[in-house]
Amino acid sequence: MVVTTTSLPLFVLGQGVDPHSERGVDCPGELPPASDPALVARARKAKEALGDRLFVLGHHYQRDEVIQFADVTGDSFKLAREAAARPEAEFIVFCGVHFMAESADILTSDRQKVILPDLAAGCSMADMATFDQVEEAWEVLEDAGIAGVTVPVTYMNSSADIKAFCGRHGGAVCTSSNAKRALDWAFEQGEKVLFLPDQHLGRNTAVLEMGLSLDDCVVYNPHRPNGGLTDEQLRNAKMILWRGHCSVHGRFTAENVDDVRARVPGVNVLVHPECRHEVVTKADYVGSTEYIIKQLEAAPAGSTWAVGTELNLVRRLGTMFPDKTVMFLEKTVCYCSTMNRIDLPHLVRSLESLAAGQVVNQITVDPETTHWAKVALDRMLALP
């Protein structure tokens, strides 16, 4: 049988709408609600029953059906600090990914329990630097005679044991908001930086904000002997960038920027520094998630923005700022698949279990790792 599809409209619900907007399309007719009302009611009931004993954190990249239950929303660092500022909350339900829940556990008291609704909500970037790989890399630096002058700095988006590694070796943690300050500090402590695990944030900060050249940076590949580098390359480098990246932000290309500029006259291109160097250099504005939100908040009505970050957030920004046109930088959709693992059924299960006196999916970091990770986090907090 031959099936012809030429008569079928591709987007049956999307006729006659602006294709350059993340507000999406109008859906005609009766449609079911976005979130299952029965689950919404169960989540509300369990949350009410727990009262002040519960504090729910929602990362900006979470789905709307989950974010509606967050007591506070933010990026990973803001959320960890918010958790630490709520000592009265016995349970912290972290709607985000694993490394964020670990950071919350490190920064909260032993009395508080941190829960991740789905334990499979990891982060592909954090997984690109394992403890054993980083220990091995440090031995490579020792053999090259440069470990003594190298300061390890890890992005917040890393596992607790990588943060602890940095704490033990005189290094610090950084976020996308304070990466330059952290690197300034690190270069006062030593001559070189081992930057983990996001090569793009490290390169973009070093080259665009600190005046280093691309030739000052090398990429250490943990899957190759000696990181794929000669001892001479390691000795000559100022920034030793770990070969890691975010699978969401790494998707944006320089062609995406050229394409949107050609399609949409006057568009402002706003991207996250986890994007590749060639994307960031073509963009009009670059900054952390919180920066992106503030930038759109302050933008004049009628302005048009192509945003290079996670799609749940970009869609929400389109809804939050109806007087501006907000679109996704890439034409195909790009959610963070691990963030999206936290859905309403998982959240309901966590809340109802807690209300019934049972803690499920608790994230705990052992005391030794907590101690050294906190040393690295405290160094960041002490930055000017």
Which residue ranges make up the site for ligand SF4 (CB under 6 A)?
Answer: 61, 97, 123-125, 157, 246-248, 310, 336, 338-339
Contacts of 329 (CB under 8 A, 6+ apart): 252, 256, 257, 260, 269, 271, 306, 307, 308
Q: Which helix (H) or strand (E) holds 346?
A: helix 344-355
Considering beta carbons, is residue 292 or 336 the nearer one to ligand SF4? Answer: 336
Give the three-state DSSP class for 23.
coil
Task: Find the DSSP H helices in 190-227.
Answer: 199-204, 210
To the nearest whole angstrom, how small is the minimum distance from the Cβ of residue 339 to ligand SF4? 5
Q: Which helix (H) or strand (E) holds 44?
A: helix 37-50
Q: In this structure, are residues 229 and 137 in contact, taking their beta carbons and an 8 Å threshold?
A: no
Considering beta carbons, is residue 71 or 127 the nearer one to ligand SF4? Answer: 127
Considering beta carbons, is residue 67 or 267 the nearer one to ligand SF4? Answer: 67
To the nearest whole angstrom, how small is the minimum distance from the Cβ of residue 338 to ligand SF4? 6
Measured CA distances, 100 to 134, 190, 235 (Å): 20, 28, 34
Virtual torsion, Cα 134, 139, 145, 150, nearest 10 deg: 20
Both tokens of residue 178? 């304070």
Considering beta carbons, is residue 125 or 239 the nearer one to ligand SF4? Answer: 125
Please tell me the distance from the alpha carbon of residue 287 to that of residue 232, in angstroms, as a whole number.
34
Residue type, 132: D
Pairing label, strands 268-271, 285-286: parallel
- Give the count of beta carbons closer than 10 Å to the beta carbon of residue 295: 18
Considering beta carbons, is residue 250 or 318 the nearer one to ligand SF4? Answer: 250
To the nearest whole angstrom, how small is the minimum distance from the Cβ of residue 68 to ligand SF4? 20
Considering beta carbons, is residue 249 or 282 the nearer one to ligand SF4? Answer: 249
To the nearest whole angstrom, how small is the minimum distance from the Cβ of residue 337 to ligand SF4? 8
Considering beta carbons, is residue 125 or 348 the nearer one to ligand SF4? Answer: 125
Considering beta carbons, is residue 308 or 318 the nearer one to ligand SF4? Answer: 308
To the nearest whole angstrom, how small is the minimum distance from the Cβ of residue 158 to ligand SF4? 10
To the nearest whole angstrom, how small is the minimum distance from the Cβ of residue 121 to ligand SF4? 8
To the nearest whole angstrom, how small is the minimum distance from the Cβ of residue 247 to ligand SF4? 5
Per the document, the length of the chain is 384
To the nearest whole angstrom, how small is the minimum distance from the Cβ of residue 104 to ligand SF4? 15
**Partners of 327 in the beta sheet?**
306
